[in-house]
């Protein structure tokens, strides 16, 4: 039975890609869900709208955010306004309404480059890859101490943060604000660091879309997916319904007065090239093209160590890569967010 204080949940960003799945999963688990979203006229930066939405609410699940790598520095004010200021307004409203539990949608981008092992120096954190190296096709990171080649490893939640773009910086700021709120109010904050989420209702191709949506949109238009670098960069692709289940599980996790962070991932690393091939195969579309191009700010490999979420939240991803990509190849996409 759901404790009365947790029965009514406010979901911000509830009309979005991930938020809509989270709201549905919460309702399926027996919660009453209050939806708040800019698309339906309610802004998370509007204290009055939050006051109306929070009546009787016991938990806030904060999904609202400006997402994606962005276009250029002109995007900085929007990332700061929506993600940072919006979270601050939300937390202040939670304090006014004596709401003591927050589940925050964070991201693996707070880590920057993933974890790597050097044969000589052990676990290392490579510096950002230079434009000159990328232009020469030198995509793999090297040890910052001896310049040897390094091998990727699963990154754990205690790895130092190293945000490398505006979105990443704003997500880390959200975590810090949530930690401030938890300490000052005695509330409980759980940050779910999503890895590469994909699935039905993903927004169509925009400069802020994830790579899965960009490839799907290309294939839907009869174009070959264009893969940056050499296609061997590794990610952890996690299905949106698994992410929704993680949010339900997070309603019981964490400790009062602290922020607890968890990798939300499949535990099955695959290359970006693998994903492009899988989608092209299931869509019956043209084969991917490896471009050798690059974007400054992208990282080479980032693979999750998902064990903490399993041990402390009881969360384990259930939808495998092949099953998920087969579904996603024909799943409906949403209009750009």
Q: Does residue 274 form part of some domain? A: yes
- Residue/partner pairs of 249-253 with CB below 8 Å, 24 or more apart: 249/309, 249/313, 249/314, 249/315, 250/103, 250/190, 250/192, 250/313, 250/315, 251/6, 251/9, 251/59, 251/101, 251/103, 252/313, 253/190, 253/312, 253/313
CA distance 80 to 167: 9
Gyration radius of the chain over CA positions: 20
- Count the domains in the chain: 1
pLDDT at 3 over 80: no
**Cα separation of 160 and 46, whole Å?**
33
Integer Cα distance of 151 and 117 in angstroms: 5
What is the residue range of 78's domain? Answer: 8-114+155-329
**Is residue 121 included in any domain, yes or no?**
no
- Give the end-to-end CA distance of the chain in Å, rounded to a whole number: 36
Residue 91 lies in a domain: yes
Higher pLDDT, 299 or 90: 90
- 146 domain-assigned: no
pLDDT tens readout for residues 305-337: 999 999 999 999 999 999 999 999 999 888 765
Give the per-residue pLDDT at 2: 67
pLDDT tens across 288-300, in order? Answer: 999 999 988 788 9
Q: Does a structural domain hold residue 335?
A: no
214 lies in a domain? yes
Q: Any residues with CB less than 8 A from the CB of 87 and at least 6 apart, and which? A: 44, 62, 104, 173, 174, 177, 178
Whether 337 is covered by a domain: the verdict is no
Instruction: Report the CATH number at residue 207.
Output: 3.40.50.720
The Cα 21–Cα 61 span in angstroms is 12
Count of Cβ atoms closer than 10 Å to residue 201 Cβ = 16
pTM (two decimals): 0.95
Domain membership of residue 222 (yes or no) is yes
């Amino acid at each position: 039975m759901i404790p009365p204080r947790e029965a009514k949940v406010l979901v911000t960003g509830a009309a979005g890609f991930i938020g809509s799945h989270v709201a549905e999963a919460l309702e399926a688990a027996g919660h009453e869900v209050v939806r708040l979203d800019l698309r339906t006229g309610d802004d998370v930066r509007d204290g009055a709208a939050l006051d109306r939405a929070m009546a009787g609410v016991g938990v806030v699940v904060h999904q609202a955010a400006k997402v994606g790598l962005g276009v250029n520095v002109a995007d900085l004010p929007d990332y700061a306004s929506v993600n940072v200021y919006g979270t601050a307004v939300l937390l202040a409203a939670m304090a006014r309404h004596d709401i003591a539990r927050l589940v925050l949608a964070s991201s693996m981008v707070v880590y920057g480059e993933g974890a790597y092992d050097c044969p000589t120096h052990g676990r290392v954190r490579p510096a950002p890859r230079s434009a000159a190296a990328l232009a020469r096709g030198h995509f793999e990171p090297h040890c910052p101490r001896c310049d040897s080649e390094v091998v990727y490893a699963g990154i754990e939640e205690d790895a130092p943060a190293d945000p490398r773009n505006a979105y990443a910086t704003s997500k880390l700021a959200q975590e810090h604000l949530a930690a401030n709120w938890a300490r000052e109010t005695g509330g409980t904050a759980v940050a779910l660091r999503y890895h590469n989420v994909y699935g039905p209702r993903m927004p169509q191709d925009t400069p802020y879309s994830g790579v899965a949506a960009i490839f799907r949109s290309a294939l839907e238009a009869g174009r070959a997916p264009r893969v940056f670098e050499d296609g061997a960069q590794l990610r952890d692709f996690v299905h949106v319904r698994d992410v929704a289940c993680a949010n339900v599980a997070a309603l019981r996790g964490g400790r009062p007065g602290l922020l607890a962070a968890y990798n939300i991932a499949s535990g099955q690393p695959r290359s970006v090239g693998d994903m492009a091939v899988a989608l092209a195969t299931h869509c019956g579309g043209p084969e991917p093209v490896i471009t050798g191009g690059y974007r400054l700010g992208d990282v080479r490999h980032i693979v999750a160590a998902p064990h903490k979420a399993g041990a402390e939240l009881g969360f384990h991803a259930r939808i495998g890569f092949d099953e998920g990509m087969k579904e996603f190849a024909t799943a409906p996409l949403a209009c750009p967010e």
